[in-house]
């Protein structure tokens, strides 16, 4: 798993809900929808057209309580769109777990929304939590996961699926 990310920043505001990332009326109501199709509705209510502008490797920065609301996995469309890493002043618990399980590095970084402007470039180390603004030269400390913590191990495995495959095999739960 890659641990350092450098990319251009898209900024979003406070309390960006999972209803905005995964609109229920578009996605939940259509269970046959593919992840790629579903991603086209991400942020369509609050920022129409954004999905056409975002490039693989871009970073997303948000204010407090990012991913509030429903347990729909808002990290999946972000990952499909190519967002490499998410930083927010604070992140909802459910969204943070979904991010870990999806394998999308998502860090709680108090002060991040005042630290960077849209379009600036950041360098983020998800092991140390150090964030550097490559345009201003300033640094900010994000909350890194303890390296022995389950979420860090799941993230380093690339997400829950890879982590579980290994764990059920080692436990002898998989049929021969």
The residue within the footprint of other proteins, chosen from 3, 13, 28, 117 (CB under 8 A), is 28
Rounded Cα–Cα distance for residues 68 and 81 (Å): 20
114 binds other proteins (CB under 8 A): no
**Contact string 123-162 vs other proteins (x = CB under 8 A):** -----------------------x--xxx--------xx-
Q: Which DSSP string corresponds to 85-103? A: EEEES-B-HHHHHHHHHHT
Determine if 49 is a binding residue for other proteins (CB under 8 A). no
Residue of 17, 106, 113, 133 interacting with other proteins (CB under 8 A) = 17
Residue 23 is a binding residue for other proteins (CB under 8 A): yes
Rounded Cα–Cα distance for residues 35 and 129 (Å):
29
| Residues within window 60-99 making contact with other proteins, judged by CB under 8 A | 64-65, 68-71, 73, 90, 92-94, 96-98
Going 91 to 162 to 20 to 53, the CA torsion angle's sign is positive
* Nearest-approach distance from CB 36 to other proteins, in angstroms: 17
| Per-residue exposure over 40-60, b if at least 16 CB sit within 10 Å of its own CB, e if not | bbbbeeeeeeebeebeeebbb
Do strands 59-62 and 106-108 pair parallel, antiparallel, or not at all (unpaired)? Answer: unpaired
Q: Give residue for tokens 């450098």.
A: 6
Site residues (CB under 8 A) for other proteins? Answer: 15, 17, 19-20, 23-25, 28-32, 44-46, 64-65, 68-71, 73, 90, 92-94, 96-98, 101-102, 146, 149-151, 160-161, 164-165, 167-168, 171, 173-175
């Amino acid at each position: 798993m890659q641990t350092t990310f450098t990319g251009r920043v898209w900024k979003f505001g406070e309390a960006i809900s999972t209803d905005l990332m995964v609109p229920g009326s578009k996605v939940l109501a259509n269970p046959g929808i593919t992840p790629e199709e579903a991603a086209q509705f991400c942020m369509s209510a609050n920022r129409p057209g954004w999905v056409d502008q975002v490039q693989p490797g871009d970073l997303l920065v948000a204010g407090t309580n990012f991913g509030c609301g429903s347990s729909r996995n808002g990290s999946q469309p972000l990952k499909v769109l190519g967002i490499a890493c998410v930083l927010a002043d604070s992140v909802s618990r459910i969204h943070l777990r979904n991010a870990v399980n999806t394998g999308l590095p998502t860090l709680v970084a108090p002060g991040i929304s005042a630290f960077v402007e849209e379009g600036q470039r950041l360098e983020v180390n998800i092991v140390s939590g150090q964030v550097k603004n490559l345009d201003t030269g300033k640094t900010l400390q994000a909350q890194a996961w303890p390296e022995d913590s389950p979420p860090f191990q799941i993230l380093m495995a690339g997400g829950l699926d890879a982590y579980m495959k290994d764990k059920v095999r080692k436990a002898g739960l998989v049929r021969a």
